Every structure is written in structure tokens, then in C-alpha cells.
């Protein structure tokens, strides 16, 4: 099982002034604090050096990552990345690709590549629409089978878990002097990840639909903080189950002398 996706728009930022590293607190022999600690101070001004796109395939059973770093993410780039992955795993018998519904993942170039790998003769007229291409790539009889995630369900792709690790450990507080430095550090980090930290992720999602009995936008907590619905007043069914505390209205004072 191969989980694939792109991480696009990775900005190469260089801080205008160097970052001041954090300093731990110091204590004397009696245990009293002699010097306060200091958090890291990062300059908010930065210099841009462009962006890069990371085409990534995450091997679900082992956690190994195969990547291609470039400036674009066209259908030709994606087809070249698929060739790279197949060369990296030459002894694998069947390939199951998990991808989202981006049009480059089911482009005509990808269909021709899969047809070449599987030894299938297919004409362009048979792959003129996106529906035909996705059906061709999803055919379970092929050696290379593509599994497309549901719409708005790209979070089901396990490569997103790896992207979160990459963002926290390298990109979040990165300071890169040039595009070349960014590519070198990225390659070193990915190589180190494969050699020392690659592991299969514990997948806790059971496949059950995430459906609530009560819509999330109608919960009491969301209405109280004013993020959903139209006001903070409880709904009719909540007033029946949890009636408000009784209170006495003040009677209107009627003028006695008219």
C-alpha cells in the first residue's frame, strides 16, 4: 500500500535577523533560581527565496518515504514521480496507490504509464473524460490499482501524517539562506528520516462514519461561545429537557393618581 500526495507551496524563508536561541533557567546549590530562563526569540521579518513542491509517496507497511523535490507539480512531474517509486520498489508484485482526486493524479499521462506497465493497449478516445480515466486506474485487474479518497476526505490518506511531522520538525521554524540550502537540508532530513525514524503509523480510524446524532453546529457549547447558529438562546428541545430556572417578573407599577 503506497500513500501518495504533494506538499505544495513550501516557502523558503530567511529571517532578516538571526534567531536568539532559548536559555534554560539556572539554579544555585540551595535550589533557588539564580537566573531566569528565556524563550527563543524569532524575527518576524523575513526574505523570500521562492517556493518548492514535494511529491511524496509513503509506504504504509514500513513507513519509508520516496520523494521528488521540484518547483512544479504538473501531470508530467507526477508521472515521473510514479516511475521513481516503481524503481525504488522493483520487487513488489502489486501496487496499490492511495491518492486524492487532484486532476494530475488521474491525468492522461498517468493512464498511459499504467497501460505501459500492465501491457494494455488503450486508445485516447477511451480515456477522454475524467470518469473514464478514474475507472481505468481503479480497475482491480491491473497490477497498478489507484484508490481515490472520497471528496473532502483527503485526511484519510496516511501521507498527511508524515506531512505534519515534516512541518513541525523542519518547516515550522526553518531559516534558509537560499533555495539551494533549502533543498540540501530537506534531502538530508528526509534521508535521516528513512534511516532512523521511518516506522508504520498506528492507524486508529476504524472506518465507521463520523456522524453525530445532533449536528455539531447545534451543540450547546458552540452556541454559548457564539460560533454557530444565530444566538445564545437554547433551542426548544433543550428548553424542554433542561428548563431554565424560574424567576419572578417585576410587576408593572401603575400610576395611582391619574
- Cβ neighbours of residue 168 under 8 Å, at least 6 residues apart? none
CA pair distance 61, 202, nearest whole angstrom: 10
**If pLDDT is split at 50, 70 and 90, which confidence band does 215 have?**
low
* Contact of 167 with 66, CB cutoff 8 Å: no
pLDDT tops 90 at residue 225: no
pLDDT tops 50 at residue 213: yes
CA pair distance 235, 154, nearest whole angstrom: 34
Summarize the confidence of residues 121-136 as an average pLDDT.
Answer: 91
pLDDT of residue 153: 83
What percent of the chain has pLDDT above 90? Answer: 54
Phi, psi of 78 (to 5 degrees): -70, -40
Candidate from 40-49, 80-89, 163-172, 221-230 with smallest mean pLDDT: 221-230
CA pair distance 241, 175, nearest whole angstrom: 56
CA atoms within 13 A on the CB side of 164: 7
* Contact of 39 with 22, CB cutoff 8 Å: yes
pLDDT of residue 229: 45
Summarize the confidence of residues 67-73 as an average pLDDT.
Answer: 94
CATH class of 2-18+42-197: alpha beta
Which tens digits make up the pLDDT trace of 92-102? 888 999 999 99
Question: Residue 205 gets which letter from DSSP?
Answer: -
- Residue of 126, 133, 120, 117 whose CA lies nearest to 85: 117
CA 14, 20, 24, 25: dihedral to nearest 10 degrees?
A: -150
pLDDT of residue 228: 45
pLDDT of residue 195: 94
Q: Whole-structure pTM over 0.85, yes or no?
A: no
CA pair distance 166, 178, nearest whole angstrom: 19
pLDDT of residue 68: 96
Candidate from 23-37, 64-78, 104-118, 197-211 with smallest mean pLDDT: 197-211
Give the mean pLDDT of the chain: 84
What percent of the chain has pLDDT above 70? Answer: 79
- Cβ neighbours of residue 11 under 8 Å, at least 6 residues apart? 48, 51
pLDDT of residue 227: 45
* Contact of 61 with 199, CB cutoff 8 Å: no
* Contact of 96 with 145, CB cutoff 8 Å: yes
Amino acid at each position: 500500500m503506497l500513500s501518495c500526495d504533494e506538499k505544495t507551496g513550501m516557502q523558503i524563508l530567511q529571517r532578516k535577523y538571526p534567531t536568539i536561541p532559548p536559555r534554560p533557567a539556572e539554579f544555585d546549590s540551595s535550589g533557588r533560581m539564580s537566573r531566569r530562563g528565556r524563550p527563543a526569540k524569532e524575527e518576524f521579518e523575513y526574505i523570500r527565496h521562492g517556493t518548492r513542491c514535494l511529491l511524496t509517496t509513503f509506504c504504509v507497511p514500513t513507513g519509508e518515504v520516496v520523494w521528488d523535490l521540484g518547483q512544479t507539480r504538473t501531470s508530467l512531474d507526477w508521472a515521473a514521480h510514479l516511475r521513481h517509486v516503481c524503481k525504488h520498489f522493483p520487487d513488489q508484485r502489486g501496487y496499490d496507490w492511495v491518492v486524492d482526486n487532484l486532476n494530475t493524479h488521474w491525468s492522461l499521462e498517468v493512464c498511459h504509464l499504467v497501460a505501459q506497465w500492465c501491457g494494455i493497449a488503450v486508445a485516447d478516445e477511451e480515456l477522454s473524460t475524467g470518469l473514464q480515466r478514474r475507472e481505468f486506474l481503479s480497475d482491480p485487474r491491473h497490477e497498478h490499482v489507484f484508490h481515490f479518497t472520497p471528496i473532502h476526505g483527503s485526511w484519510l490518506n496516511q501521507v498527511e501524517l508524515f506531512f505534519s511531522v515534516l512541518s513541525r520538525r523542519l518547516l515550522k521554524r526553518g531559516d534558509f539562506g537560499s533555495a539551494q540550502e533549502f533543498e540540501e537540508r530537506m534531502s538530508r532530513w528526509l534521508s535521516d528520516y528513512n534511516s532512523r525514524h521511518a516506522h508504520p503509523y498506528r492507524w486508529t480510524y476504524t472506518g465507521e462514519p463520523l456522524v453525530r446524532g445532533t449536528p455539531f453546529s447545534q451543540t450547546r457549547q458552540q452556541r454559548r461561545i457564539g460560533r454557530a447558529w444565530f444566538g445564545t438562546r437554547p433551542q426548544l428541545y433543550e428548553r424542554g429537557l433542561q428548563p431554565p430556572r424560574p424567576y419572578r417578573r417585576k410587576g408593572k407599577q401603575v400610576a395611582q393618581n391619574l
